[in-house]
Copies of this chain bind each other. A is one copy, B any other.
Amino acid sequence: MNLLLLEEADFIAADRVILRDRRLTHMQEVHRSQVGDSLRVGKIGGLMGSAELLRLDTTEAELRVTLDQPPPNKLPLTMVLALPRPKMLRRVFQTVAAMGVPRIVLVNSYRVEKSFWQTPFLEPDAIREQLILGLEQARDTVLPQIIIEKRFKPFVEDRLPAITEGTLGLVGHPGNYPPCPRGLDQPVTLAIGPEGGWIPYEIDLLAKSGLQPVQLGDRILRVETAVTALLARLF
């Protein structure tokens, strides 16, 4: 936790918060904070700044907050991601939040196991929990938008073209394709497949909606690693 994220409900005055949950535990056990210490804080969806610890006991902490810095820029990106297996999904949420992806569309794909859609990690509270861990890690305050599209074809045919418009559309896919471009400034729409990859029908449909296949080399990477590698290379 490199940033203590504050919720609207934590505020008892414009510049005062009281914390009682895992953030209190973290301050006590990891940071070993003491009264008078200054901590980096941010308000979810808002500014970042610092807070002075005014009072700390076993049940709560009171802080005086100064919020005066904007959060870091997001990447100019919409990521379309075939739903990963649940354990991977949690880590991917953290990773994309940490790396500054503003919008992720989770889609179905032929190689996504049906059971993955039943995971409790897709509940809104569970998603938010992982995103917040990523924001706390990277020092950001703005939650990415997560869109769930369980049906591949209607999403790709009917809604993806509007997302892709005005962006460079790419789909990561192993094979005899151009290498993934580097160091872009322009907005990108990037699709990343499931373990085992997209099937040819899906690649064709994505291409018709404006996403061109690009590859990252011969090595087959886990989804979380591929996500990070593609983002680091593109931006």
A residues sitting closer than 8 Å to B (CB atoms) are: 2, 72, 94-95, 98-100, 137-140, 182-183, 216-222, 225, 228-233
List the number of copies, as a whole number. 2
List chain B residues, Cβ under 8 A from A230. Answer: 232
The answer for the CA separation of A65 and B209 in the assembled complex, in Å, is 43
A98: chain B residues within 8 A (beta carbon): 219-222, 225
Complex: A23 Cα to B184 Cα, angstroms? 42
Once the chains bind, are B182 and A219 in contact (CB under 8 Å)? Answer: no
Write out the residue numbers on chain B whose beta carbons fall within 8 Å of the beta carbon of A220.
2, 98, 137-139
A-B contacts besides A95-B225, A98-B220, A216-B232, 8 pairs, CB < 8 Å: A98-B221, A99-B229, A139-B218, A182-B183, A228-B228, A229-B232, A230-B232, A233-B233
Given the complex of chains A and B, what is the CA–CA distance between A231 and B233 in angstroms? 9
- Compute how far the CA of A138 lies from the CA of B226 in the bound complex, rounded to whole angstroms: 11
Q: How far is the CA of A144 from the CA of B57 in the complex (A)?
A: 49
- CB-nearest residue of chain B to A219: B138
- A218 to B219: give the CA distance in the assembly, Å: 29
